[in-house]
């Protein structure tokens, strides 16, 4: 994790670049993101789950214009104390996993960002919704499509918004490539290649615990390939095939996948070939059309994201993804803004339908039809 000093240095450099003549207008014109000045009230967010990613989000939010950390929810009292001091959070906005339903009586909190192990998402999101607060849920949204449907229903019933932490949907290089594809600059899309993976360390961590993670690499970094294939091709897949490789069954126990290769078929005939792994370093997307190509490498890491097309390299300045994500999500929740690519519960549900089908294809060895 970057230190606060490193973060501030990088942020300062990014802001300097953003303020160079012509840079802001170019960014706004090509990214499709909302870059208008904002002078309204911020989205007041409580973060649930104060682990490494929760800390990254909190650091990034210090540069947000539309979102502010005002509360925390954690099962570790020492973490709560640390965050109180670091982010000036009042005691009345601090909760644990037993009493956080009481946020319904706290007018200082607008939304809760759920950043906990995958298996906890469903129940926690539903509880937040019942408390009358908007929800941002880290991906994967749930353990399966059924859980996602229950979360969506609960939020609709409570009349609160449900968003999913798709930070790449706001990353400017990614957005620009999708805009170029939408304009037909790559011609007819023929194929997509997606590689997402890293050699995972500590065998006792929750990501290698089936009960908490719901799977292995596919449920973690694999969702970037699933989601990326959908937004890069610009269509919804209609079938999937998949194969699993496991070289270390002692570390990757039953139900925890080490490496999965999967293929998605699209209505226009395009094919996506993807690999997700807890054993191989992979971070690359390639989109091929009959008139051009686009490559993101790295494609989903924390950045800087590097991108090029058949016309040359893209060169958008790097800002922490979570800073942009939270500002844009504040606009969605407070101002009903519409993002270039959806980040709502229905988007999360579609990815879990694909993941469910991938696991079924691995199990049966058959092509599995999809209807999203």
Spans of the chain below 70 pLDDT: 1-38
Catalytic (active site) residue 139: yes
Does a structural domain hold residue 325?
no
Domain identity same for 20 and 152: yes
Domain identity same for 29 and 160: yes
Domain identity same for 49 and 134: yes
Domain identity same for 153 and 275: no
By DSSP bridging, strand 134-137 and strand 111-114 are: parallel
Domain identity same for 219 and 305: yes
Domain identity same for 252 and 271: yes
Does a structural domain hold residue 331?
no
Give the E-state strand segments of the chain in sequence order: 43-48, 67-73, 94-95, 111-114, 134-137, 162-164, 189-197, 239-245, 259-265, 271-277, 282-289, 293-296, 307-309, 312-313, 368-369
Does a structural domain hold residue 337?
no
Domain boundary pick from 118, 140, 167 = 167
Domain identity same for 15 and 71: yes
Domain identity same for 186 and 308: yes
Give every CB contact of residue 134 below 8 A, 6+ residues apart in sequence: 110, 111, 112, 160, 161, 162, 163, 333
Domain identity same for 176 and 303: yes
Domain identity same for 216 and 243: yes
pLDDT (tens digit, 9 = 90+) per residue, 200-255? 999 999 999 999 999 999 999 999 999 999 999 999 999 999 999 999 999 999 99
Catalytic residue among 66, 113, 133, 139: 139
CATH code of the domain containing 15: 3.40.50.720
Domain boundary pick from 104, 135, 167 = 167
pLDDT of residue 37: 63
Does a structural domain hold residue 24?
yes
The CA-based dihedral angle spanning residues 68, 74, 79, 81, taken in that order and rounded to the nearest 10 degrees:
70
Note whether 51 and 115 are within 8 A (CB): yes
How many domains are contained in the chain? 2
Note whether 120 and 99 are within 8 A (CB): no
Does a structural domain hold residue 328?
no
pLDDT of residue 314: 97
Domain boundary pick from 167, 201, 234 = 167
CATH code of the domain containing 301: 3.30.360.10
- Domain extent at residue 214: 171-316+345-369
Does a structural domain hold residue 336?
no
Q: How many CA atoms lie within 13 A of 15 on its CB side?
A: 10
The rounded distance, in Å, linking the Cα atoms of 48 and 256 is: 25
Note whether 83 and 50 are within 8 A (CB): yes
Write down the pTM of the prediction. Answer: 0.90
How far apart are the two ends of the chain, measured CA to CA in Å? 36
Q: How many CA atoms lie within 13 A of 249 on its CB side?
A: 2
Catalytic (active site) residue 306: no
Does a structural domain hold residue 179?
yes
Domain identity same for 111 and 258: no
Count of Cβ atoms closer than 10 Å to residue 32 Cβ: 18
Does a structural domain hold residue 65?
yes
Catalytic residue among 224, 231, 278, 359: 224
Domain identity same for 149 and 191: no
Report which of 73, 190, 207 is spatially closest to residue 128, judged by C-alpha positions. Answer: 73
């Amino acid at each position: 994790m970057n230190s606060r000093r490193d973060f501030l240095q990088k942020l300062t450099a990014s802001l300097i670049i953003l303020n160079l003549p012509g840079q802001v207008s170019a960014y706004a014109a090509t990214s499709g993101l909302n870059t208008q000045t904002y002078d309204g009230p911020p989205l007041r967010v409580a973060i649930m789950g104060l682990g490494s990613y929760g800390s990254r989000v909190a650091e990034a939010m210090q540069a947000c214009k539309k979102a502010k950390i005002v509360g925390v929810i954690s099962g570790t009292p020492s973490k709560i104390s640390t965050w109180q001091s670091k982010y000036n959070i009042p005691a009345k906005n601090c909760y644990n996993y037993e009493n956080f339903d009481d946020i319904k009586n706290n007018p200082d909190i607008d939304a809760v960002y759920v950043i906990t192990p995958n298996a906890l998402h469903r129940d926690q999101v539903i509880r937040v919704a019942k408390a009358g607060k908007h929800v941002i849920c880290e991906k994967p949204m749930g353990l399966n499509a059924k859980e996602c449907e229950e979360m969506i229903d609960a939020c609709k019933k409570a009349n609160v918004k449900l968003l999913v932490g798709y930070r790449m949907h706001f990353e400017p290089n990614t957005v620009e490539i999708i805009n170029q594809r939408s304009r037909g600059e790559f011609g007819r899309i023929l194929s997509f290649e997606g590689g997402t993976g890293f050699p995972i360390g500590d065998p006792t961590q929750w990501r290698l615990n089936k009960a908490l993670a719901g799977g292995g690499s596919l449920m973690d970094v694999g969702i970037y390939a699933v989601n990326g294939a959908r937004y890069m091709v610009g269509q919804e897949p209609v079938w999937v095939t998949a194969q699993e490789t496991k070289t270390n069954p002692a570390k990757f126990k039953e139900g925890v996948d080490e490496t999965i290769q999967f293929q998605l078929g699209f209505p226009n005939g395009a094919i996506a070939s993807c690999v997700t792994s807890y054993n191989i370093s992979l971070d690359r997307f390639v989109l091929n059309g009959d008139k051009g190509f686009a490559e993101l490498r790295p494609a989903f890491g924390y950045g800087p994201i590097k991108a090029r097309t058949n016309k040359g390299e893209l060169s958008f300045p790097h800002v922490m993804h979570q800073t942009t994500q939270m500002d844009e999500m504040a606009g969605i929740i407070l101002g009903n803004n519409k993002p270039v690519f959806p980040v709502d519960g229905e988007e999360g549900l579609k990815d879990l339908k694909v993941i469910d089908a991938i696991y079924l294809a691995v199990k049966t060895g058959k092509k599995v039809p999809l209807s999203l």
